[in-house]
Structure 1
């Protein structure tokens, strides 16, 4: 018995010694790496709890609950510079609004960073292994599947957009022109994008929208709210015990699964056709483009197809609807901008509205860019280091020295803060002034759709759909009256939207 205890103690001591030696080797290697590159530590945010960082987590959760998380970030950067660190759960987070550092993380040193296991775990109940949660070969394969579906031929085809904007205009009239536009934009964009992706609209703009459509819509909202809460909780994610969240994720998946089954049946039917019949059908006229059917040509994995379609549908809905909501939120408060934009739209408008006509509406492009500057769809984002690496900036008191980033440490970057830096966009950076875009040619300091290899594949799709909708509405209505005297309140889920919506009255054109 004593001998067995002696052996166990010896084994434990040997194991402890092994890990101590490994830790010392890592420390030595990191010390030499820092010395070789001349690295300096970044500023540290003052914390009451420097180890677990519970004070930082609670500050973040409280600020988000009170619609002030983005203002909290701005205050932290104002007090601590472009780049500073926080410590939570024994892990360092590098917080930055420096475009040079962001460019290195997202582009030049792309292979050194990834989504990380915490982000995958927080989002997996809803997004599974979709393009926004995966890395490496899985991500590359999914990106290759999706990219062909956003070629110019599909993006600039307005037949689907047009039908749903017609429904939006009719619905505004039925409500006597007094509406919350944000609510309607979310319904309209989900309708148009579901038709593009599934081949069938959810039908939320219809007078007779089904109970299943409303259930899916509400489930999508609740599921993504739970996802962002899990992400904010970080290592405390295990405390998130919300049965409704799980049920909402199941509802979203079940709705998407129905269309995945249809797409796979379509694939089987096409595979069964003789080659000559396929050629006749393809040559017999232009078929309606269905995003999911195209994906199904490359894979028959139903879970992969479902995860991809949920990722894309959610991203497309929230970024486009959010952009539209912020545009009209600002237009309702700036009649001078409304008048100038409407004049630009009417000068180039044609029936039916074409992509070329939209491209001629320069002031429309300025308005969209200015909205994306002040209210970027993805206001904050992050990457985790998948190995020890060195960034060329971010270290030292001025943030200009090289910065060592240890494996598993996180870089969080805020486009919201970066887009409001006066040195990039002028002293009137808080003002909504579309005219600033007449001469602006920004680089990485303007990043509304991310950058590098993971730049949003649907960027052109979202911008085209948004611009088309704005032009159609300014053609249909001659004025807009603001019915909400309050300032904007942030609603941060997976993207940035308005907690108080867009309460307004529209004036029909004569």
Structure 2
């Protein structure tokens, strides 16, 4: 097995190497100052040196040179940026100011919000005060945050070559995502897109056999749990469904995570809460832990290496992930090499009916690290995001029974109580698509994303002002915040209303400005598998509607520590009414799970 750290980091662990580099840069002024003064002292007579350059003066000068030079650099940078902005006829972004040196109070507030806050609360509240685009510094590391549709469109599409993931983002992510499509730029990104694109074609994604098998299995598990009298954690269940579907789609080898025992609520008897320790569950848990670590790195910022000086916090989880994946990858590579020896055309553009995505990828490379990185990236796209969106959709169905009944009626009218849906069924079911879209609007699978601009640039906001952004700036754009702006979606933007994707509001808001709705990203990096995701979500929801006539959120089954805080009641928008606590690492999830009870359809409508 190729060791991930050796492949990427060289002889030193990544965090330690980065920390040494940062300390070297930070203390260089002090060392240069001390050496310069010592050299000058040697040129002076002993009497003058002792009088004007005693040791304490040299030491004090060396220490104060660091903040002095830093202040000088900041002032010079600000002066230069103001001149450049003026030359472009633009202004600098509004700045969020802290009260302590280095704005460490802002960092403290951010971490407190992570523990006790609502999704995006830390940034959203300041957008109401400062505007929808502003900048802030933490330890002099600058970031711009925005929910402006024009800026987001510029970053993702109209000026795409100028905005990259960048080296800093790569450092955050590479111990997990490696050189995969989500963490690469330039030729490597193009290589991954070229490898993957041909596989996501209409006739591939419309093959519903795979969804059917695993959806039936999941529904059996729901019914078994319902009949036991306990709620089911739908978030956990659908994660198993998407994991089984993804592994079969990617590898031809299903991990059968639905075979193991589902978790029980926090208040169930202890003997019921003994969890199985299957390889699939270990993989899923380890992968989630690794994603949490790299998400935390982005929140900490450039000083994250000092939190992992002597231990890469992703190393343990990724060891479990690699142990699960590598045998599968090695088998695929060996199978491909055997096919080559038998004279099979390795560069054939035709994709066989039984060919998996991994079979397709090994036509391009047999490098196990490249394969692993791409598979993990696709796993996040194909498993985590789809599971997240199905969880949110079912949460909303539990909160809005009238939507559930209308959706169920559409399913029964179009597909009936037992027939397997087809691609044409899914395409024709307008309300089903509206329910999915509205769920993704209010809680997109990737609430925040970021880029770095390569060159100095000016962006125009949707309000018509021009903002100058210096090269190398971190730009965090929030689809979650953009999706809840009343100027983009109307005064009812915080309300769950699938009809907004059907009625006159489509023409009023979405058609004139399609970039206000970006659940699958946009531009050259738009998600290749979005139609696959729509089909998978649609298929599973149709199966649920055929089998269950109502869904009830069971708050008593949710761990009290994971419930929305009492002080949220009455807060603006969804924060004041939600019964669950939405949060995210790389992708959205519900803290503590989504515990529901489902009432089975009567009259023998569907027997599984």
Answer whether TM exceeds 0.5 for this pair: yes
* Contact 2:444/2:480 (<8 A) preserved: yes
Matched residue, 2:436: 368
What are the within-5 Å matches in structure 2 for residues 172-183 of structure 1? Answer: 172-176=222-226, 178-183=231-236
Matched residue, 2:392: 326
Which of these residues, 57, 69, 75, is aligned with residue 125 of structure 2?
Answer: 75
Which of these residues, 501, 506, 509, is aligned with residue 598 of structure 2?
Answer: 506
- Partners of 2:318 and 2:217 in 1: how far apart? 29
* Contact 1:67/1:491 (<8 A) preserved: no
Deviation of 1:330 after TM superposition, in Å, equals: 0.8
Gapped runs of 5+ residues in structure 1? Answer: 10-21
* Contact 1:60/1:69 (<8 A) preserved: no
- Partners of 2:85 and 2:184 in 1: how far apart? 30
Matched residue, 2:474: 410
Deviation of 1:243 after TM superposition, in Å, equals: 5.9
Matched residue, 1:295: 361
| 2:474 is equivalent to residue 423 of structure 1 | no
Deviation of 1:55 after TM superposition, in Å, equals: 1.9
| 2:93 is equivalent to residue 42 of structure 1 | yes
Structure 1 residues 235 and 274, CA, compared in 2 at 3 Å: closer, same or farther?
Answer: closer
Matched residue, 1:432: 496
* Contact 1:39/1:402 (<8 A) preserved: yes
* Contact 1:203/1:210 (<8 A) preserved: no
Q: What TM-score do you get using the length of structure 1 for normalisation?
A: 0.89
Which of these residues, 442, 455, 459, is aligned with residue 530 of structure 2?
Answer: 459
| 2:311 is equivalent to residue 219 of structure 1 | no
| 2:407 is equivalent to residue 335 of structure 1 | no
Matched residue, 1:12: none
Deviation of 1:390 after TM superposition, in Å, equals: 1.7
Which of these residues, 300, 308, 322, is aligned with residue 233 of structure 1?
Answer: 300
- Partners of 1:322 and 1:504 in 2: how far apart? 15
| 2:247 is equivalent to residue 194 of structure 1 | yes
For the residue of structure 1 that corresponds to 2:302, the secondary structure is: helix
Matched residue, 2:237: 184
* Contact 2:340/2:346 (<8 A) preserved: no
Matched residue, 2:64: none
Deviation of 1:236 after TM superposition, in Å, equals: 2.1
* Contact 1:385/1:410 (<8 A) preserved: yes
Matched residue, 1:314: 380
- Partners of 2:75 and 2:111 in 1: how far apart? 37
What are the within-5 Å matches in structure 2 for residues 9-408 of structure 1? Answer: 33-49=84-100, 52-176=102-226, 178-207=231-260, 211-241=278-308, 245-274=314-343, 287-349=353-415, 351-393=419-461, 400-408=464-472
Aligned residues: 493
* Contact 2:141/2:302 (<8 A) preserved: no
* Contact 1:387/1:407 (<8 A) preserved: yes
Deviation of 1:31 after TM superposition, in Å, equals: 5.7
For the residue of structure 1 that corresponds to 2:451, the secondary structure is: strand
Of 466-475 and 57-66, deviating more is 57-66
Structure 1 residues 421 and 267, CA, compared in 2 at 3 Å: closer, same or farther?
Answer: same
Gapped runs of 5+ residues in structure 2? Answer: 1-35, 44-72, 262-275, 557-563, 565-578, 603-608
Computing the radius of gyration over CA atoms, which structure comes out larger, 1 or 2?
2
| Cα deviation digits, residues 108-157 of structure 1 (max 9, x gap) | 11111111222111111111111111111111111111111211111111
| Cα deviation digits, residues 155-210 of structure 1 (max 9, x gap) | 11111111110110111122125311111011110111011011111211014887
Structure 1 residues 188 and 233, CA, compared in 2 at 3 Å: closer, same or farther?
Answer: same
Of 85-94 and 478-487, deviating more is 478-487
| Cα deviation digits, residues 320-353 of structure 1 (max 9, x gap) | 0110000111111111010000001111116232
Structure 1 residues 28 and 58, CA, compared in 2 at 3 Å: closer, same or farther?
Answer: closer
For the residue of structure 1 that corresponds to 2:446, the secondary structure is: coil
Deviation of 1:56 after TM superposition, in Å, equals: 1.9
- Partners of 1:224 and 1:23 in 2: how far apart? 34
Deviation of 1:262 after TM superposition, in Å, equals: 1.2
Deviation of 1:52 after TM superposition, in Å, equals: 2.8
* Contact 1:118/1:234 (<8 A) preserved: no
* Contact 2:441/2:519 (<8 A) preserved: yes
Structure 1 residues 92 and 341, CA, compared in 2 at 3 Å: closer, same or farther?
Answer: same
Deviation of 1:401 after TM superposition, in Å, equals: 2.1
Matched residue, 1:447: 518
- Partners of 1:310 and 1:100 in 2: how far apart? 31
- Partners of 2:518 and 2:258 in 1: how far apart? 32
Deviation of 1:239 after TM superposition, in Å, equals: 3.1
Deviation of 1:29 after TM superposition, in Å, equals: 7.5
* Contact 1:113/1:384 (<8 A) preserved: yes
Greater relative contact order structure (CA < 8 Å, 6+ sep): 1
- Partners of 2:408 and 2:126 in 1: how far apart? 39
Structure 1 residues 276 and 231, CA, compared in 2 at 3 Å: closer, same or farther?
Answer: closer
- Partners of 1:277 and 1:94 in 2: how far apart? 46
Deviation of 1:244 after TM superposition, in Å, equals: 5.8
For the residue of structure 1 that corresponds to 2:172, the secondary structure is: helix
For the residue of structure 2 that corresponds to 1:427, the secondary structure is: coil
| Cα deviation digits, residues 436-486 of structure 1 (max 9, x gap) | 111315211111111111111221111111111111111111222221276
For the residue of structure 1 that corresponds to 2:517, the secondary structure is: coil
